[in-house]
Amino acid sequence: MTATDPELENRLREHVIALASVPRPPGSREHAAAREYIRAHLEKAGFDVLLDATREFGAGNVKNLLTRPVPDNPALPLVIVGAHYDSTPDTPGADDNASAVAALLELAGWLHPRLSQAGAWAAARLQLAAYDLEEYGMVGSIRHAAGIRDPVRCMISLEMLGYTDRRPGGQNLPPHLVGLYPDIGDFIGIVGTPASCRWLEATASAMKTVNGLNVQSLEVPGRGESLPPVRLSDHSSFWDAGHSALMITDTSFFRNPHYHMPTDLPQTLDYPFLSQVTAGVCAAVLRLLAAE
């Protein structure tokens, strides 16, 4: 996959438009349609897709989509890549989180043919996840993380990947990070903990191979308690369950003024940037699967 592929940009745009033309809060027809759109594309890519549904949580009926891990070798640890597909009631959620779901679908289509030959090179299995009810307390990913019995090499949460603000000052930062990271919002961020530092370094290194993609990484202590905004996605469910996990993000409300607003629309996204990020995610996941 190349970052300058116009066809990739067009596919990403088509996914976002299909998923995020109107809000898709849980229980709505749009929410169900988004889930079926994701299922269809994952199956088209060649994955077996399982519906993991439960009524156990107070937030409502959670419906995750999980692919069957490949290659089919239970002795290998898991690399899990997930993105949530729900939105809050007042926003179409183009960046939050249709941009990440679009990248997940393109990762599926690019990687599955390579996994068919994975017996020769894979040191881990891949599982893809479309999580439900992230906006209501990471409910879907909490369920998934709590139920995993196999070793997890690393989980990657894709959280808002498609918005840029290239003006000086367009990137806001927490006070203690000012001066340490750019104030122009044209980079992709990767967040990890000391427990995931190996995979943070590997992911950043792989993503930096994409021409023109500005990659910034941040290691937070513990499980991110000292910087609460870095916990606001599905990777935190895996941190809390004792697994290694990362978040890849355009930094959400530190950059995007449309966060949780009716204006988080498909036309606000930077599709060349999203294309670069998607290519970077593909390179990173391939590296994590192959690493010994």
Residue 57 has pLDDT above 70, yes or no: no
CATH number at residue 28: 3.40.630.10
Query: 218 lies in a domain?
Result: yes
CA distances from 105 to 45, 102, 241 (A): 8, 5, 26
Query: 16 lies in a domain?
Result: yes
**Using an 8 Å Cβ cutoff, are 125 and 186 in contact?**
no
Query: What are the residue ranges of helices labelled H in the chain?
Result: 6-20, 29-45, 99-115, 139-147, 197-207, 235-240, 271-290
The mean of the pLDDT values for the chain is: 94
Query: 34 lies in a domain?
Result: yes
Count of the separate structural domains present in the chain: 1
What is the tally of helices (H) and strands (E) in the chain?
Answer: 7, 8
Query: 1 lies in a domain?
Result: no
Query: 278 lies in a domain?
Result: yes
Q: Give the domain extent around 125.
A: 6-290
pLDDT for 137-150, tens place per residue? Answer: 999 999 999 999 99
Query: 39 lies in a domain?
Result: yes
pLDDT on residue 118: 65
Total Cβ atoms within 10 A of residue 66: 21
> What is the model's pTM?
0.96
Query: 207 lies in a domain?
Result: yes
With tokens 């997940």, the residue in question is: 104
pLDDT for 183-232, tens place per residue? Answer: 999 999 999 999 999 999 999 999 999 999 999 999 999 999 999 999 99
Query: 67 lies in a domain?
Result: yes
